[in-house]
Structure 1
Amino acid sequence: MPSGLWPLAISGFSLDIKSSIVKTTQKQDRRTGLICRSRRISREREREREMALQWVILTYLVAVEAAIAVLLTLPSPKLVKNRLVSLVSLILQPALFVVPFAGFQLLDIYWKNEHRLMCTSEICTASERDRYEKSIYKAQRNVILCAASILLYWSVYRICKYHKEIQHLEEVEKKSKEL
């Protein structure tokens, strides 16, 4: 067999295998209806895993912002405080992406809440009701997380700004005493 035909034969074979697998699952879907539902649930779980990464990132950002806020507010020697404030000030501008990121996450939560299927009637099963309540709790937790990230960013920004203003006023006072 020529070397150029070998990959084509392999790719054709794999395509045939994939199409036969899809056909058999479609036949099973038509007969039972159960596989279709499990496939839909698996897609939802995949999407939840993808969305979970965004919330993990936001959680770590909130933790880092909280740690920075604590470090900035702890009493420390003037030289250490000045260096820390200058370092955090340099980091603040690139870290501004937290605000639109959290804002878009809030919009996503709002959109999902408006388009969420309600499960409050007697038609819903207990597991569907539990899944609905769990999604409501997750949405509430995520709103708190977004609000905390925006609030912590703003507080770190204001702490740095106040510290720079205090530094400037101390320099002005020092110059006025020298005169």
Structure 2
Amino acid sequence: MALQWLILAYAVAAEAAIAILLTIPSPKLLKNRLVSLVSLILQPALFIVPFAGFQLLDIYWKSEHRLMCTSEICTAAERDRYEKSIYKAQRNVILCAAACLLYWSIFRICKYYKDVQRLEEVEKRYKEE
């Protein structure tokens, strides 16, 4: 199970790095190449959305079937283990949400950049006429 979260964490880190690369100012030629490369990667990288959704369902199912340790008969170790599992679940929910949000933002950044590029080309054609 930890391997799934490791894969998701690396995917989120890669998405964050790509989002930063897309938003920093850079020369137009470099930006064109970067956007075209990221656009090619976006479709295969779509696996992250259903993967994160599946992980969210897994977290929900585990939280519904988790043994509660709120009574006074629980030992301190059991209570600590219960609280630790709750914190890990909250961290993993944030990780899943970040994966989906970062994928969407990268997709929109690329789409906006392509739209701006297309409009610049149309404007250039109108100026030439």
| Same fold by TM-score greater than 0.5 | yes
Q: 2:57 aligns with which of 84, 107, 121?
A: 107
Gaps in structure 1 of 5+ consecutive residues: 1-50
Could you say which residue in structure 1 is the equivalent of 2:7?
Answer: 57
Are 2:126 and 1:176 aligned? yes
Counterpart of 2:11, as a letter, is L
Counterpart of 1:84, as a letter, is L
Counterpart of 1:172, as a letter, is V
For residues 23-51 of structure 1, give each alpha carbon's deviation from its aligned partner in whole angstroms, at most 9, with x where no partner exists: xxxxxxxxxxxxxxxxxxxxxxxxxxxx1
Counterpart of 1:81, as a letter, is K
User: How far off is 1:143 after superposition?
Assistant: 0.1
Secondary structure at the residue paired with 2:112? helix
Over the aligned positions, Cα root-mean-square deviation in angstroms equals 0.3
Secondary structure at the residue paired with 1:157? helix
Separation of aligned partners in 2, 1:143 and 1:124:
27
Separation of aligned partners in 2, 1:176 and 1:77:
24
For residues 2-42 of structure 1, give each alpha carbon's deviation from its aligned partner in whole angstroms, at most 9, with x where no partner exists: xxxxxxxxxxxxxxxxxxxxxxxxxxxxxxxxxxxxxxxxx
User: How far off is 1:123 after superposition?
Assistant: 1.0
Separation of aligned partners in 2, 1:176 and 1:74:
30
Q: 1:158 aligns with which of 108, 116, 119?
A: 108
Counterpart of 1:128, as a letter, is E
Within 5 Å, give how 1:73-152 maps onto structure 2.
Answer: 73-152=23-102
Q: Structure 1 vs Structure 2: percent identity of aligned residues?
A: 84
Determine which structure has more spread, i.e. the larger CA radius of gyration. 1
User: How far off is 1:117 after superposition?
Assistant: 0.4
Gaps in structure 2 of 5+ consecutive residues: none
Separation of aligned partners in 1, 2:105 and 2:68:
37
